[in-house]
Structures are given as structure tokens and as C-alpha cells.
Amino acid sequence: MSINAIPRAGVIAGALSIALMAQAPPPPPQQGYPPQQQQTYPQQPGYPPQQQGYPAQQGYPPPQQPGYPPPQQQGYPPAQGYPQQAPPLMGPQQLDGLVERIALYPDPLLAQVLTGATYWNEIPDAASWANQHTYLHGDELSRAMYEDNLSFDPSVLALIPFPSVLDMMARDPGWTQALGNAVLNQRPDVMDAVQRMRQKAMDYGYLQTNAQDRVMVGGPGDIEILPVNPGYVVVPYYNPSLVFVAPRPGFYAGVGITFGPGIFVGAFAPFGWAGPGFGWRTHDILIDHRPWARTWVNRDRYVHSYAVPVARPVGPRVERHVERHVERREDRH
């Protein structure tokens, strides 16, 4: 890795951060994360077992330990490798159930989840790292991701600012692997399933423009969910068994979706946040405004063309920023 790679990436990320911040003020603070309920996903041959609900997370930040903590420290089930053969295609009803827990995510975050899921074997380790560094935010977190020589694919690195999303994916490896397989093997069908679920949520009054996201309808099969402030992405929380069925008479549909705090993504432009989204009509996933073309056939050799070339680590993973964090705390006293 070139010595100048990190400063150049930082300058570009900083410029993008300033541009994004100028577009609109940060969203108002939101209430704490409500727990998200999950439906049971049908077990499929060859996948790790489905986890029954999400175990409570440990407090943040976790106690500091010397050196880098080993993978799976948070108790995540181990991820399995790629199957030798492409899995069987899933039908529309199966795909609807597969995407329902993420279908109402804003488009930029959904694009990162779909691409990141294709590297399901990296998700548990990335989730552990994210959980142990929740005291870092914005530029400090971005810098730590560089300095620690994280070797995850950029599509997985893009999810580190969203530890609750990574945690959900890591705690249910069967679902994550099934989603990744489907994205690699039948991406258009997965995107159509997302659109079907969004249409249901709109029909029942749950999906609508709010203070965090704009819901844009460009025609059949083209429902976009876009952050009101492009620089901030907010994770929605909802119960799929509620928002995708007709509400009971007299029940106010608008209370079905709640939101966590906004995450400023401008600092993470070098990790694919310079322009993620979708071309819904053409069935394209866009990362940095460029079609992401990884498939089951080319999965072992595909390299995405990022707007900001991602500098790959040349050495082992390290933990450099912990000492700096401790020093700052000591300086305050």
C-alpha cells in the first residue's frame, strides 16, 4: 500500500464530507433503538442453522484487551464457505420472505447490505470489530479502519458504521448466506422482491415520506427510499409481520416504522459511500454510481471500480488507535 494512499483517500473523503454536510442540516436526534422483531426464515439445505431472535448485545464500549481480539468474540455463529455449486433458484414467495427485514431500508444502505451479504464469510469478524469500536465515529472511525489494516472487502467495510445492521447479519448467518447467494445468482429477482414488499407497505399505509426519508414512486417496480439529507443515513426498525399486512380497523398504520439516529456517511466515501443506490428499472445495484457486477460465476475474481480506489492492506491487522484513544482520555483529566 502506498504511503500516500491514506492521505489522498482522506482528502477526498473530507471533500465529499463537506459537500454532503452543506446540503442540509443534520436530522434531529432520534429516540434509542427499539428492538426489531424477526420472522423465522425457512431453513435451507447447506446453510448454517437459523438463530431464534437476537441475543442481547453487550454494553458499549466493551472492555479493552491487549492486542487485537480474536474473531467471533461476540459469540457469533461461524460463517460457512461458498458452496461448490450454485444454490437452487428461489421462488417469488421465498424471496419476499428473504428480503422483508431489509426491504424498507433506504436505498443507499440497502445497496450496501445486498453487496456485503455476498461476502457472508467476512460478516462475523467485521461485526465483532465494529462492536468493539463503537466509541469511534465519523473521521475517527474511518481512520481506524485504515490504520488497523482491515482486510474485509469494501462492501463489508461500508457496513461498519452501522454496527446494528452488521450484528443482525452476523447473528443469522443462514439468512445472510441465503441473501448473498440470491444476490449473486438471481439479482433481478431479489430486487423485484424488494419492490413487491415496498408496494405492500405503501398500500397498507406504513411506507410514506417522513422526516428521515423521501419515498419516490417512479412507476411500477420503481419505489425509491432516499434520505432527506443525503449525508445522513438512518436505519429503520419495523416488524415485517406488521407492516406487510393490512392494518386492523382503527389501527393507525404510521406507527409501524421507527428510526435510530442518523449516521453521517460522508467520512466513509472511500468505502463505497460516494454514491450507492439502484437502477430499479434496469436491475442494477450502483456503488459509487457504477453498476456492481459481481455474480456467482465471477465471484472469485470480480473487483469493483470504486470512485475512490480502495487501498488494500499490505500487512497484518493491527490495533493502533486504542492507545491514542486512551491518551485522549488521560489528557482530559
Of 29-33, 66-70, 186-190, which gets the smallest average pLDDT?
66-70
pLDDT in tens, 69-120: 343 444 787 766 666 688 899 999 999 999 999 999 999 999 999 999 999 9
pLDDT value at 38 more than 80 = no
Predicted confidence at residue 41, as pLDDT, reads: 45
Report, as an integer, the average pLDDT of 216-232: 95
pLDDT in tens, 253-298: 667 899 988 999 998 988 889 899 999 999 999 999 999 999 999 9
Query: Which three three-digit cell numbers place residue 164?
Result: 446494528
Percentage of residues in the chain having pLDDT higher than 90: 57
Predicted confidence at residue 248, as pLDDT, reads: 78
pLDDT value at 160 more than 80 = yes
- The helix (run of H) or strand (run of E) holding residue 92 is helix 92-99
pLDDT value at 56 more than 60 = no
pLDDT value at 230 more than 70 = yes
Report, as an integer, the average pLDDT of 296-303: 93
Predicted confidence at residue 72, as pLDDT, reads: 42
- 201 CA to centre of own chain: 21
- The helix (run of H) or strand (run of E) holding residue 278 is strand 277-279
Residues 6+ apart with CB under 8 A from 31: 258
Q: Which of 119, 114, 131, 1 is nearest to 72 (CA)?
A: 131
CA distances from 267 to 56, 137, 193, 232, 236 (A): 29, 9, 31, 11, 21
| Model pTM score | 0.74
**Distance (Å, rounded) from C-alpha 87 to C-alpha 258?**
35
Predicted confidence at residue 83, as pLDDT, reads: 66
**For the chain, what is the mean pLDDT?**
78
**Distance (Å, rounded) from C-alpha 155 to C-alpha 146?**
15
| Between 31 and 261, residue with greater pLDDT | 261
Report, as an integer, the average pLDDT of 50-61: 37
Q: What is the DSSP letter of 12?
A: H
pLDDT value at 309 more than 50 = yes
Yes or no: say if 312 and 1 are a contact pair by the CB < 8 Å rule.
yes
Q: Which of 71, 77, 173 is nearest to 132 (CA)?
A: 71
CA distances from 244 to 76, 223, 270, 296 (A): 29, 15, 35, 30
